[in-house]
Amino acid sequence: MKVTDGVYAYPWTNMMENNCNTYVLQGEGLILIDPGLNKYVPNILDAMKQDGLNPDEISLIINTHSHPDHLDGNAYFIDTDVKMTMHEEEEKFLEKIGKEFFSMFGLTDPRYRVDFFCNEGDLQENGISLKVVLTPGHSPGSVCLYWPAKETLISGDVVFSGSIGRTDFPGGSGPILKQSIEKISALEPAYLLPGHNELVEGKEEIKKNFDFIKRAFFSYL
Ligand SMILES: [Zn+2]
């Protein structure tokens, strides 16, 4: 579904399974963010076509982090020339510890490439200028993606509508997540697109959401 010009969301609505929300950014080509579980990628591509997007125009997959419910679907594109990226710290984590998550999920080892690192700073693709913000705490190399031209923040599993990412997985840290949340709340987006559950739209609503999160969770982190 279209969120705003150039921004499309494919939210996961089935509570019985832990897939993630996938997002597509449209410029001169498409960027796919967090493809989710491999077995559901065809559903996303179908939904994109319904929205008038051509999946053949995907040139880059950005992984906000390496947890299986976000990363597994990279496998679908492994034999294509679609580029794949994640933060340098996240790839290190995935290689050392993160792969164990895949067997815990009943999945085989992840199939992915890292064509370049998605480190903090500017990322340009298809005429789209994104700011990559390093936001560890849920996972050591988690990133959020901010598209200033669209005031759109893709927050991975850092914050959700009314909630925050878990910090009890290996490589997680409550105090570090708190700093990451402070960092992204300063961006004042108009669209907050989290890795799970509902989207949050409107600057006021998003500010309220950050205020709620700080009140409800910060004393425990
Ligand atoms: Zn996660």
pLDDT of residue 106: 87
pLDDT in tens, 138-166: 999 999 999 999 999 999 999 999 999 99
| 172: helix, strand or coil | coil
Question: With contact defined as beta carbons under 8 Å apart, do 194 and 159 qualify?
Answer: yes
pLDDT of residue 179: 98
| Mean pLDDT for the stretch of residues 17-26 | 95
Task: Report the separation in Å between the CA atom of 172 and the middle of ligand 1, taken as the mean of its atom positions.
Answer: 10
Distance (Å, whole) CA 178 – CA 158? 9
Residue at 156: amino acid letter: G
Confidence of residue 15 (pLDDT cuts 50, 70, 90): confident
pLDDT of residue 11: 97
Task: Report the separation in Å between the CA atom of 67 and the middle of ligand 1, taken as the mean of its atom positions.
Answer: 5
Task: Report the separation in Å between the CA atom of 82 and the middle of ligand 1, taken as the mean of its atom positions.
Answer: 23
Task: Report the separation in Å between the CA atom of 33 and the middle of ligand 1, taken as the mean of its atom positions.
Answer: 13
Full-model pTM: 0.97
pLDDT of residue 102: 92
Complete domains list, the chain, with CATH: 2-216 (3.60.15.10)
